[in-house]
Structure 1
Amino acid sequence: MDKSYAKIIVKGSPITKSNFKLFNVKGRAILPYNSGKYHDRYAVYEEQIAYECRSQNPGTVISESLIAILKVYYKSRKRHPDTSNITKSIFDGIEKSGLIINDAQIRKIVTEEFYDRENPRFELELFGESYYNLKYIVSRNDPIKEKINYSPPPNRKKIHKSIVKPQNCGKKSSSPKCQICGKPLQRDEIISANNGKTLICKDCFNKLFK
């Protein structure tokens, strides 16, 4: 059934694809799904989105251009993914469900960030542009609200280098180990993921995709 409106609610803390990528020896990003490890979490989340999308909108397929209103509810104000990265992760799951033909249909999108410790989730509404339009209104607060200030992100590159490169401080440094099989890693066989926090060997990396 071709419609011009759909709504999807998926419970659980929203996550972003960028934190679950592994990189092969050519630098290409790959998302594993059967490693039995932490990195499978994104693939499971994408499947959850697709399932909920189809369950909540049975038989619906939207083929026209769309306006998207996305409300993301995090558990914590301090620790959560960048909201700007959330949209791609969510629409990958929506496209996979078959509700839309291609995520390129999203021509206008409004994303709002909220906090709900007891019920983290995202709520997405899709509006066909043949029936709906979006008007932008920005007004001045009166009275002025309290500012929400942000700190610069940590220098993750330095953290990554400190993990991969042994530090010679008068003591013998131990080699980093593969976090799947546990064997010591040589510098030329390290494959990193999760912004350098996860290190695996080439053998284990190749097994993930067999």
Structure 2
Amino acid sequence: MNNYAKIIVAGSPISKSNFKLFNLNGRAILPYNSGKYHDRYALYEEEIAYEARIQNPSTVLTESLIAVLKVYYKSEKRHPDTNNITKSIFDGIEKSGLIINDAQIRRMIIEEYYDKDNPRFELELFGESFYTINYEIVKKDVKDKPIEYSLPSNKKNSSLTKAKETIPRDCNNTCYICGKGNGNGQLLSANNGKMKICKECLKKLF
């Protein structure tokens, strides 16, 4: 019985959500041969499937699995959300026939690293009947330099962000976003009655 497999795929991992198109009925599709940028995800999924099969010939994992995923990005800050790329990766692994269904993954550890010269992901799959997993979080003796994150530029200047910085939350007589008063009954209750928002700002939120 097969109970272990390892897959390494070179290149920067990408997220499925960034490459969806929508048809006339609003259904999400992932094109393969449109000749557009959106084809990139489908091609990446095919690459994962090919590498998974070529690196693990004749292997099929049929039982529940533990997954250890190590993702290596080019940059510390400019990369997809690591939590989102797991779906992309396991779609390709499932397509390869290495696993029956990604529902087999019952436990998973994801680790994020950086390697500007060799971005990639490394995935190990362990059969639960043969392996178990133990982990702990330990405080460091020497503190590392923190990797700090900030709001993206399109959110830094948003009216909602500015409102949060300048308008008190408990103000019931002015709009929480623009600060205008309750003229002509324009304010509506929001957030379970904790704040007021004018009709114009409410329209802009949708």
**TM-score bracket for the superposition, by shorter chain length:** 0.7 to 0.9
Residue 116 (structure 2) aligns with = 117
1:129 partner amino acid: E
Unaligned segments of structure 2, at least 5 residues = 159-206
Residue 198 (structure 1) aligns with = none
Q: CA deviation at 1:79?
A: 1.2
Q: CA deviation at 1:133?
A: 0.5
Q: CA deviation at 1:154?
A: 4.6
Residue 47 (structure 2) aligns with = 48
Residue 33 (structure 2) aligns with = 34
Residue 57 (structure 1) aligns with = 56
Calculate the TM-score normalised by the size of structure 1. 0.71
Residue 151 (structure 1) aligns with = 150
2:120 partner amino acid: R
Query: Whole-Å Cα distance in 1 between the matches of residues 68 and 18 of structure 2?
Result: 24
Residue 181 (structure 2) aligns with = none
Residue 97 (structure 1) aligns with = 96
Provide, for residues 146-172 of structure 1, a one-character-per-residue CA deviation record: whole Å limited to 9, x for no partner: 21111124547x99xxxxxxxxxxxxx
Following TM superposition, the consecutive aligned residue runs of length 4 or more in structure 1 with deviations greater than 4 angstroms are none
Query: Whole-Å Cα distance in 1 between the matches of residues 81 and 152 of structure 2?
Result: 11
2:130 is the counterpart of 1:136? no
1:131 partner amino acid: F
> Relative contact order (C-alpha < 8 Å, sep 6+): which is higher?
1
2:80 partner amino acid: P
1:51 partner amino acid: Y
Query: Whole-Å Cα distance in 2 between the matches of residues 23 and 37 of structure 1?
Result: 14
Q: CA deviation at 1:137?
A: 0.7
Query: Whole-Å Cα distance in 2 between the matches of residues 45 and 10 of structure 1?
Result: 10
Unaligned segments of structure 1, at least 5 residues = 160-210
1:94 partner amino acid: I
Residue 126 (structure 2) aligns with = 127
2:106 is the counterpart of 1:107? yes
Query: Whole-Å Cα distance in 1 between the matches of residues 88 and 54 of structure 2?
Result: 19
Q: CA deviation at 1:10?
A: 0.4
Query: Whole-Å Cα distance in 2 between the matches of residues 67 and 141 of structure 1?
Result: 27
1:145 partner amino acid: D
Alignment of 1:58-73 (within 5 A): 58-73=57-72
Q: CA deviation at 1:78?
A: 2.3
Residue 87 (structure 1) aligns with = 86
Q: 1:30 to 1:149 in 2, by over 3 A?
A: same
Residue 186 (structure 1) aligns with = none
Residue 20 (structure 2) aligns with = 21
Provide, for residues 45-86 of structure 1, a one-character-per-residue CA deviation record: whole Å limited to 9, x for no partner: 000000000000000000000000000011111211110101
SS of structure 1 residue aligned to 2:43: helix
Query: Whole-Å Cα distance in 2 between the matches of residues 69 and 50 of structure 1?
Result: 18
Provide, for residues 32-56 of structure 1, a one-character-per-residue CA deviation record: whole Å limited to 9, x for no partner: 1110111100000000000000000
Q: Percent identity?
A: 72
2:5 partner amino acid: A
1:137 partner amino acid: E
SS of structure 2 residue aligned to 1:76: coil
Residue 73 (structure 2) aligns with = 74
